[in-house]
Amino acid sequence: MKTSLIISLPPSSLRIGLIEACGVTVKPSSTEYRERINSAVREFVEPDCIYPDHMQKGIRSLLKTFGFHPSGRSRPASEFLFKDLQNRGSFNFINNVVDINNHISLVSHLPVSTFDLDKSGYELCLRVGLDDESYVFNREGQTLALKKLMVVARQGGDHAAIGSPVKDSQASKVFEETRNVAVIIYSSGNLTPENEMQLLLERYMLLLKKETGAEKLESAILNAVP
């Protein structure tokens, strides 16, 4: 795997699933995959469907470990996707790579980030956001304050933060020209045993291969143990 991810964080229960996919083709999701997603998330649209309490508490507790307070607009991305799905009443299709990201995040209840590796660089790290740090996360120019938030950042160059379990930076998002991507699944040993994370990574890679034509796929599991 060409992508490296160094964990520069205090010891914690953090467990990361990392995927590198090269040679992807970004395009609208196939009709077959759209139907598969709609079937998978149908139960979440029901008014009486509630976000799993142990997953919400588990991910929020993990982020609080580093001093961040996830709530409101700064809640984990997996919670935001669930709420957005219920508000819309249907899945928000964007492109095949992003749709896989959001599909897996919804069914696993885990935050997921996807980066264009040719924009982000292949040398990355996980660190705590600085007090005055922020980045733009959408085309409208809205910003996310990164103070005390666990962030993915470039390990070299400008060391800029490019993503997090809350929202990812607009600077390294996936668009039609993207050919190589990195995927990060955020969890903890308390929520996702290593064998379950491996199965989730394998499921994700199968989708990338089938839906994007990825030519090369590799994965790894990283733990922030003492």
Cα–Cα distance for residue pair 76/82, rounded to 1 Å: 10
pLDDT in tens, 50-108: 888 899 999 999 999 989 988 878 899 999 999 999 999 999 999 999 999 999 999 99
Model confidence at 201: pLDDT above 80: yes
Confidence class for position 151, pLDDT limits 50, 70, 90: very high
Distances (CA, A) of 1 to 108, 182, 197, 215, 218: 25, 11, 18, 13, 6
Structure tokens given for 21: 């996919």
CA triple 114-116-120, angle to 5 deg:
105
Model confidence at 1: pLDDT above 70: yes
Q: Which pLDDT value is given to residue 158?
A: 84
The residues spanned by each domain of the chain are: 4-223
Confidence class for position 113, pLDDT limits 50, 70, 90: very high
Cβ neighbors of 73 (< 8 A, separation 6 or more) are none
Model confidence at 133: pLDDT above 70: yes
pLDDT in tens, 16-39: 999 999 999 999 999 999 999 999
Q: Which pLDDT value is given to residue 226?
A: 58
Q: Which helix (H) or strand (E) holds 138?
A: none
Q: Which pLDDT value is given to residue 77?
A: 94
Cα–Cα distance for residue pair 84/123, rounded to 1 Å: 32
What does the DSSP 8-state code read for residue 21? E
Q: Which pLDDT value is given to residue 85?
A: 93
Mean pLDDT of 109-136: 95
Q: Which fold has domain 4-223?
A: Phenylalanyl-tRNA Synthetase; Chain B, domain 3 (3.50.40)
